[in-house]
Structure 1
Amino acid sequence: MSKTLHHVKITPHRSSARGHSNHGWLDTYHSFSFADWYNPNFTHFGSLRVLNEDRVKANSGFPMHPHRDFEIFSYILSGALTHSDSTMSKKQAEGGTQSELSCTVQRGDIQFTTAGRGVTHSEFNRGNETVHFLQIWAIPWRRGLTPRYHWGRYNDEDKRKGFVSLLSPLKGGVDASEAEEKAAEPTIPGTIAIHADFVMAAGIIQPGSKFEWAVGAKATESGKRKVYVHLPMTKGGKAKIRLDNREDAVLGEGDGAFVDGINAGDRLSVESVGEAEAEVIVLDTA
């Protein structure tokens, strides 16, 4: 097999190189430096700052804690996770409904928080089974944004047909007006708007099948891109993917890959070469 993107550098980031902590209630892997784990080789990639693969046991979770000046989002792989935050507490004071005071996201859902100038939130597993999810942080294009929360539900059947975009840049851009911020219109319809030159997508690829990711997703003015591909640990090690037809870019579960020197409009092939379907996460950043 021959690679098609000759100008592109692909560097696998093996699961064994990730940080790992097991706190009993939380079993977590860090693709980038986080908490007590620091590796100077893995600090960020473009605006991508954190990618944690977390499992939280039933009736446990993260109590209220503060964040600021990050875009923070979670993609649920299995189970359910209940989110509450300080923006919802303000709605409670105003007599908000229960659905406005917390939000429970399930398999395939994504939830998104702009921490901005300061937010406190909690993430709790109120179900009877372990929740497995990806927690991801991106660096926003400016500090001091107004905190906000959104969530979206995306169908697995759509993801089995091709990559489905989940997040895309706020249409108003870095200089968005207050009205544009409130409207929160994304560049790609049907996605959640993020304050960064950043697109997130997910696809579920059957063994022997191949998807292509259109770099930049026609949602950016930046020609030079960085793409991080992650294969979550969902199939007991039976899922594998190959990037750009390269034998040295075969990823197992828990592995990721830095795709550098790639351009908007390039098409990155992702082939499922394992025994089980592969749920692939693409993080495309300037």
Structure 2
Amino acid sequence: MSKALSHAKIAPRSSFERGHADHGWLNSYHTFSFAQYYDPRFQNFGALRVLNEDRVAPKNGFPTHRHRDAEIFSYILSGELTHRDSMVSKRNDSAANKNDFYRMHRGDVQFTTGGTGIAHSEQNEHSKEEVHFLQIWALPWKKGLPPAYHTMTFPEESKRNKFITIISPLKAGAEATSEEEKAAVPVIEGTVPIHADFLMGASIIARGQSAIWKVGGDDAVQSKKDRKIYVHLPMRKIGAKIRLAGKLDLEEGDGAFVKNVNAGDELLVESVGDGEAELVVLDSD
């Protein structure tokens, strides 16, 4: 273990131990209790509540359904995912139609604040290719927030052998005014704002290379002590493998809980497999 993280506690979450549901059209793995999968040991980790790794078959998807009081985001790994929602009319003065949608591809992140209630659908409308994505939920710092959507693209090259921050807290904080909510300014410029003391980072590390995640970002979070970091290496089926803090090795589909770390600590991630390692880091209070 690196000297900078000698105080950290790191525990693996093996891929084969996750909850699993195969509905034919949807093949989903659950890191935390979700739907029919329940394990009292894995309810949440700080504000992180759901981490599902999903594959949806062509011409299938999630029909219109409602969410409230959750921060929900999708990170697209391959394929395409088409999103339609109940706020279309607020973005377009004309009647809602088939052209009112977001069609997401690799590198896109779609973020939803459920707040007081919102309805959306997510469909793989491609005729041949499945879509592979991470669905992640975080617990907001308060209930009853105004519903909102954000969609951003984070190019693959920006993640090469380094971490970029994708999501950071709303700068105005838990007591944001309605005007500040509409402005949706994040603490870190160029990221998606979340209603939580929470960061999401991503990296694509070439074989033999490494990257460092700085816990808490550069003074981007309010809670500085005892941050809770979850690292996940998606199943891309390319022989990826990573080593955390010089100690714990993770294979595709594996994750790890990192505790007893503080803002400013550095988590070293090395790519030690045959394929490049694309991973996400979820950094919570």
- Per the normalisation by structure 1, the TM-score is 0.95
Deviation at 1:196, TM superposition (A): 0.4
Change (3 A) 1:214 1:150: same
Identity of aligned residues (%): 57
Tell me, which stretches of 5 or more residues in structure 1 are unaligned? none
Does structure 1 retain, via aligned residues, the 8 Å contact 2:13–2:255?
Answer: yes
Number of the residue aligned with 1:147: 147
Q: Does the alignment pair 1:80 with 2:80?
A: yes
Number of the residue aligned with 1:178: 178
Number of the residue aligned with 1:95: 94
Number of the residue aligned with 1:227: 229
Aligned residues, how many? 282
SS class of match (2:280): strand
Does structure 1 retain, via aligned residues, the 8 Å contact 2:4–2:265?
Answer: no
1:5-45 per-position Cα deviation (integer Å, ceiling 9, x unaligned): 11110000000110001100000000000000001111100
Number of the residue aligned with 2:270: 271
SS class of match (2:55): strand
Number of the residue aligned with 1:197: 197
Change (3 A) 1:203 1:60: same
Within-5 A mapping of 1:194-273? 194-218=194-218, 219-224=220-225, 225-236=227-238, 238-246=239-247, 249-273=248-272
Deviation at 1:235, TM superposition (A): 2.9
Does structure 1 retain, via aligned residues, the 8 Å contact 2:28–2:55?
Answer: yes
CA distance in 2, matches of 1:242, 1:91: 44
CA distance in 2, matches of 1:100, 1:3: 53
Task: State the one-letter code of the partner of 2:136.
Answer: I
Change (3 A) 1:223 1:61: same
SS class of match (1:101): coil
Does structure 1 retain, via aligned residues, the 8 Å contact 2:4–2:266?
Answer: no
SS class of match (1:223): coil
Q: Does the alignment pair 1:14 with 2:21?
A: no
Does structure 1 retain, via aligned residues, the 8 Å contact 2:28–2:54?
Answer: yes
Number of the residue aligned with 2:67: 67
Deviation at 1:98, TM superposition (A): 6.2
SS class of match (1:269): strand
Deviation at 1:4, TM superposition (A): 4.1
Number of the residue aligned with 2:50: 50
SS class of match (2:212): strand
Deviation at 1:146, TM superposition (A): 0.5
Deviation at 1:101, TM superposition (A): 2.5
CA distance in 2, matches of 1:206, 1:99: 40
CA distance in 2, matches of 1:216, 1:96: 43
Change (3 A) 1:115 1:100: farther
Would you identify which runs of 4 or more consecutive aligned residues in structure 1 move more than 3 Å? 1-4, 89-92, 96-100
Task: State the one-letter code of the partner of 2:70.
Answer: F
SS class of match (1:58): coil
CA distance in 2, matches of 1:22, 1:86: 28
Deviation at 1:126, TM superposition (A): 0.7
Deviation at 1:167, TM superposition (A): 0.5
- Per the normalisation by structure 2, the TM-score is 0.96
Change (3 A) 1:162 1:229: same
Does structure 2 retain, via aligned residues, the 8 Å contact 1:169–1:186?
Answer: yes
Task: State the one-letter code of the partner of 2:160.
Answer: R
Task: State the one-letter code of the partner of 2:246.
Answer: N
Change (3 A) 1:98 1:19: same
CA distance in 1, matches of 2:137, 2:119: 15
CA distance in 2, matches of 1:151, 1:228: 23
Does structure 1 retain, via aligned residues, the 8 Å contact 2:62–2:121?
Answer: yes
Taking only aligned residues, the RMSD between alpha carbons, in angstroms, comes to 1.5
CA distance in 2, matches of 1:186, 1:100: 29
Number of the residue aligned with 2:121: 122
